[in-house]
Structure 1
Amino acid sequence: MPKVKDVCRHVRSKNAGPFWVTFDLFFDGAENFRKYAESPALGPPLFERLFGADPAFVQRYPVESLNMVKISYARTEPQGGMVERDMHRGQQYVRLLDVELD
């Protein structure tokens, strides 16, 4: 099974305001976008397991013209809390790289 890092040319995570985090997965072409943009492996259960996100607040936005998918989830705590270790969430994407897609 291919992993995210095998079919995406760029993956990033970032702050989407004080209450949301977003991931951008830029696929390496239209074929892989069509195959994997709607993969169940990238669904709410993954974000619940990896980030503690409430599955009801995980949203997926495919952008076909860019061969990318944006996946956002509501933070469990607002940005800037006492125990915040990555305030801008710029390092969170690493956990997605080895996710196997189906």
Structure 2
Amino acid sequence: MTKLVDITNIIRSKNSGPYELTMDIMFKTLEDYENVCSNKIINEKLICELYKISKEDIINIIEFKPANAIKITIKRPIASGDLGETDVYGAQQHAPLLSIEL
């Protein structure tokens, strides 16, 4: 079984404003990108399971072929900088994606 981390150059997360998080997955090759996209490996069900969120909390999942990338945007469970929030920049929120196996 192949791991997502083995076929990507970058898996990262960041704020997309104070109320949203964006995760970027950038693939090493067009072939790997197209394989993941055509098999719908990155999908709403998977993101809901990994992030323990409802489907309504997913803003979008965008496949962007010019960059061999998939961008996922979700609602933040706690606004950036709010009391109880532990990652003000959203830079550590990509960790659940690291466990994906193909």
What TM-score bracket applies, with the shorter chain setting the length? 0.7 to 0.9
Question: Are positions 1:56 and 2:50 aligned together?
Answer: no
CA RMSD between the two structures: 1.7
CA distance in 2: counterparts of 1:75 and 1:36, whole angstroms:
25
Counterpart for residue 12 of structure 1: 12
Give the fraction of aligned pairs with identical amino acids, expressed as a percent: 28
Q: Map residues 20-99 of structure 1 onto 2, 5 A cutoff.
A: 20-37=20-37, 39-58=39-58, 59-99=60-100
CA distance in 2: counterparts of 1:42 and 1:12, whole angstroms:
15
CA distance in 1: counterparts of 2:16 and 2:39, whole angstroms:
23
Where does the alignment leave 5 or more consecutive residues of structure 2 unmatched?
Answer: none
Range with bigger deviation, 15-24 or 90-99: 90-99
TM-score if structure 2 supplies the norm length? 0.86
- The answer on whether the counterparts of 2:78 and 2:84 sit within 8 Å (CA) in structure 1 is no
> How far off is 1:83 after superposition?
0.9
Structure 1 residues 84, 39: closer, same or farther in 2, change over 3 A? farther
CA distance in 1: counterparts of 2:15 and 2:34, whole angstroms:
26
The amino acid of 1:99's aligned partner reads I
CA distance in 2: counterparts of 1:67 and 1:40, whole angstroms:
14
Where does the alignment leave 5 or more consecutive residues of structure 1 unmatched?
Answer: none
TM-score if structure 1 supplies the norm length? 0.86
